[in-house]
A and B are shown apart, each in its own frame.
Chain A
Amino acid sequence: MSKFQIIALIISLLWIIFVVELVRRRKLIGGYSLLWLLTGILLVVFALWENLLLKLTHLLGLVNPPSTFFALVIIFLALILLEFSVRISRLSRQNKEMAQKIALLEIKFPKKIK
């Protein structure tokens, strides 16, 4: 195992521990916890399996393995950001509808003034 592999492995494991801890404290809920855990596991696989990146590079017809890695990471992050935008749009729509409903309900049932 090369020195770099060890560092990569440590970082990946720290990542997984961090995610698990967030889930345990309920700071991270829903489908995303699974996604980020899988990301961590994938990082571990890349750290342990030296040739995977090389093979992937050849497969994609690229030359430089680190570039392959970065390209994959960037594509992954872009997809996640897009997904977040979709989710934010949905949340703001729901938030708007709720605010409107609250305001209209308060007209029907006014707050009691002490």
Chain B
Amino acid sequence: MKKKILIVIPAYNEEKNIGLVIDEIRKENIPFDILVINDGSKDNTLLSAQRHGAIVADLPTNLGIGGARQTGLLYAQENGYNLCLQMDADGQHSAKNIKRLIKAGQKNRVVIGSRFIKNRYKGAFSRRIGIILLSFFLRMIIRKKITDPTSGLRAIGGKAISFLAKNYPVDYPEVEPIVFLHWAGIEIKEIPVVMRSRISGNSSIAPLNYMVKVILAILIDCLREKPKI
């Protein structure tokens, strides 16, 4: 498969980080386009990203990470990309992972960059518990072990792009897509990655109450008509 690659970075008020993130990605010598989704930022994220040479989709209002990522998938679909790489704008995802993600990325497959395959996670206790429970819950539904269901570092290939562009869950955009992809019969593969602690700002994923809501959302998804390709 000849890979036409788009790197999608949703950014909300990340004027300080976004330039660094883009520059770091550019150092990887691979042909790809970088699309920053400016998710209604109040600061100069838009200018900052443009100045560093990214294509910028400028959302007129703040849609949240799910709506922003979906915008990236829609762009990828419209412009004929067959591999869509999702990254965070906060600098957590080291650009060093990109090459391996792209290598593992294939037609009709979603690759998730996992922090926990090789490394023991050193985060807060409550979050660790949260992720373990979530992982266990997911395993019951999709019958496959996903060690890092909240990872936002993903490579989405082929038909999975148009599938997710159409069926992107907005409320819990990390975990729910995994279930949707499973239902659609798209292969999910995890590869180990290294993540840094954030350069600045706070994670939006609050552990325990987030976990309860995600599980409820997925149980409701089970009652719905399953999305198909």
Contact = CB atoms under 8 A, between A and B. Distances in A.
A and B: partners? yes
Interface of A: 95-96, 99-100, 102-104, 106-107
Interface string B25-59: 00000000000010000000000000000011111
Interface stretch (B13-21, B67-75, B121-129, B173-181): B67-75
Contacts of A95: 61
Given A96-B63, A99-B60, A100-B70, 4 more contacts: A100-B59, A103-B37, A104-B57, A104-B74
Contacts of B70: 96, 100
A95 B61 CA distance: 9
A107 B67 contact: no
Contacts of B67: 96, 99-100
Interface of B: 37, 55-61, 63, 67, 70-71, 74-75, 78, 170
Given A96-B63, A96-B170, A103 B55 contact: no
Contacts, number: 35
A104 B71 contact: yes
| 3 closest Cβ pairs, A-B complex | A103-B57, A100-B71, A103-B59
Contacts of B71: 100, 103-104
28 contacts: A96-B63, A96-B67, A96-B70, A96-B170, A99-B59, A99-B60, A99-B61, A99-B63, A100-B59, A100-B63, A100-B67, A100-B70, A100-B71, A100-B74, A102-B59, A103-B37, A103-B57, A103-B59, A103-B60, A103-B71, A104-B57, A104-B74, A104-B78, A106-B57, A106-B58, A107-B55, A107-B57, A107-B75
A33 B123 CA distance: 53
B34 to A, nearest CB: 13
A104 B75 contact: yes
Contacts of A99: 59-61, 63, 67
Contacts of A96: 63, 67, 70, 170
